Amino acid sequence: MVFGSNRVGQMVGFGGNGVGQILAAVAAALLLRLFSGPGPALLPENEVEVDDDEDDHAGKGDGGESPIPVTVFPVTIRWCDITCSFSEKSGKTVRFLLKNVSGEAKPGRLLAIMGPSGSGKTTLLNVLAGQIMASPRLLLSGLLEDNGKPRSNKPFKFAYVRQEDLFFSQLTVRETLSLAAELQLSEISFVEDRDEYVNNLLFRLGLVSCADSNVGDAKVRGISGGEKKRLSLACELIASPSVIFADEPTTGLDAFQAERVMETLRQLAQDGHTVICSIHQPRSSVYVKFDDVVLLTEGALVYAGPAREEPLAYFSKFG
Ligand X SMILES: Nc1ncnc2c1ncn2[C@@H]1O[C@H](COP(=O)(O)OP(=O)(O)OP(=O)(O)O)[C@@H](O)[C@H]1O
Q: Which stretch binds ligand X (CB under 6 A): 7-15, 72-80, 121-129, 152-160?
A: 121-129
Verify binding: residue 38, ligand X, rule CB under 6 A.
no
Verify binding: residue 115, ligand X, rule CB under 6 A.
yes
Strand arrangement, sheet containing 138-146: 149-150, 138-146, 77-87, 94-105, 300-306, 292-297, 110-114, 274-279, 243-247, 158-161
Which residue from 6, 90, 93, 117 is in contact with ligand X, where contact means CB under 6 A? Answer: 117
Q: Which stretch binds ligand X (CB under 6 A): 68-76, 113-121, 265-273, 285-293?
A: 113-121
Minimum separation from the CB atom of position 98 to ligand X (A): 8
Q: Are 286 and 280 in contact (CB under 8 A)?
A: no
Question: Looking at beta carbons only, is 120 or 249 nearer to ligand X?
Answer: 120
Question: Looking at beta carbons only, is 173 or 277 nearer to ligand X?
Answer: 277
Verify binding: residue 66, ligand X, rule CB under 6 A.
no
Which residue from 40, 120, 241, 282 is in contact with ligand X, where contact means CB under 6 A? Answer: 120
Amino acid at 158: F
Verify binding: residue 121, ligand X, rule CB under 6 A.
yes
Q: Which stretch binds ligand X (CB under 6 A): 114-122, 185-193, 197-205, 286-294?
A: 114-122
Question: Looking at beta carbons only, is 118 or 305 nearer to ligand X?
Answer: 118
Which residue from 14, 59, 122, 127 is in contact with ligand X, where contact means CB under 6 A? Answer: 122
Question: Looking at beta carbons only, is 32 or 302 nearer to ligand X?
Answer: 302
Q: In angstroms, rounded to a whole number, what is the distance separating the alpha carbons of residues 132 and 7?
A: 8
Q: Which of 101, 159, 172 is nearest to 131 (CA)?
A: 159
Verify binding: residue 97, ligand X, rule CB under 6 A.
yes
C-alpha dihedral over 183, 174, 226, 9, to 10 degrees?
A: 10
Verify binding: residue 118, ligand X, rule CB under 6 A.
yes
Which residue from 25, 38, 77, 119 is in contact with ligand X, where contact means CB under 6 A? Answer: 119
Q: In angstroms, rounded to a whole number, what is the distance separating the alpha carbons of residues 158 and 146?
A: 11
Q: In angstroms, rounded to a whole number, what is the distance separating the alpha carbons of residues 152 and 179?
A: 30
Verify binding: residue 249, ligand X, rule CB under 6 A.
no
Question: Looking at beta carbons only, is 97 or 198 nearer to ligand X?
Answer: 97
Q: Are 37 and 10 in contact (CB under 8 A)?
A: no
Interface residues with ligand X (CB under 6 A)? Answer: 86, 97, 115, 117-123, 278, 280
